[in-house]
């Protein structure tokens, strides 16, 4: 095992390089049995839609949590003699974010139905992953802004959520790769 890596977010999770040099796995110990020998990459690829949907689910849940934290904060925080939540800009920003998160939730729910029916395809899962993780980052950014200076302080959960959100657009395939997968599903093959 290599040294512990220092990440921007998800700091509570240990992350380090693992090395499997000269490792031999007997065929009878392979996941799925001997018939799965040399099929590991295929098995991984078959699970990508489910992995991407899980990222989308997490993104929607985290975005909703950020909105909930922000609503509670802006009701209490006073500026110019009134609650931050009393300002039209604050109300409209949160209304827009809540609407977008609700739309994302409906799409994710539909994707979950597709999983239950064994019909979730790679392109649709890629749409959910890219859209929801982009939305999560947008929501986090807007919520940090509404917290003002406190939103930049590490002891506030919104700040940690902001840092944790960034990786969602990277793992499971970057959102640029998701767009490539989607466009290929539309018959728009690239190089």
Catalytically active residues are 51
CA 132 distance to own-chain centroid: 7
CA 65 – CA 13 distance, rounded (Å):
20
Nearest to 139 by CA among 44, 61, 29, 30: 61
Token pair of 63, please?
């975005």
SS3 string, 109-143, reads HHHHHHHHCCCCCHHHHHHHHHHHHHHHHHHHHHH
Q: Is the dihedral of CA 147, 149, 150, 155 positive or negative?
A: positive
CA 4 – CA 6 distance, rounded (Å):
7
Token pair of 179, please?
């767009």
Looking at residue 18, what DSSP letter applies? -
CA 86 – CA 60 distance, rounded (Å):
26
């Amino acid at each position: 095992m290599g040294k512990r890596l220092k990440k921007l977010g998800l700091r509570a999770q240990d992350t380090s390089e693992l090395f499997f040099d000269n490792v031999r796995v007997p065929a009878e110990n392979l996941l799925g049995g001997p018939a799965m020998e040399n099929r590991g990459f295929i098995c991984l690829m078959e699970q990508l839609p489910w992995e991407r949907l899980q990222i989308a689910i997490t993104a929607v849940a985290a975005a909703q949590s950020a909105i909930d934290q922000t609503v509670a904060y802006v009701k209490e925080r006073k500026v110019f003699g009134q609650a931050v939540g009393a300002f039209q800009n604050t109300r409209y920003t949160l209304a827009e974010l809540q609407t977008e998160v609700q739309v994302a939730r409906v799409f994710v729910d539909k994707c979950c139905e597709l999983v239950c029916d064994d019909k979730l395809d790679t392109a649709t899962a890629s749409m959910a992953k890219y859209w929801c993780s982009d939305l999560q980052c947008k929501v986090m950014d807007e919520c940090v802004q509404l917290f003002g200076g406190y939103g930049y302080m590490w002891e506030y959960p919104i700040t940690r959520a902001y840092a944790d959100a960034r990786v969602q657009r990277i793992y499971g395939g970057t959102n640029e790769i998701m767009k490539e997968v989607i466009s290929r599903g539309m018959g728009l093959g690239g190089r």
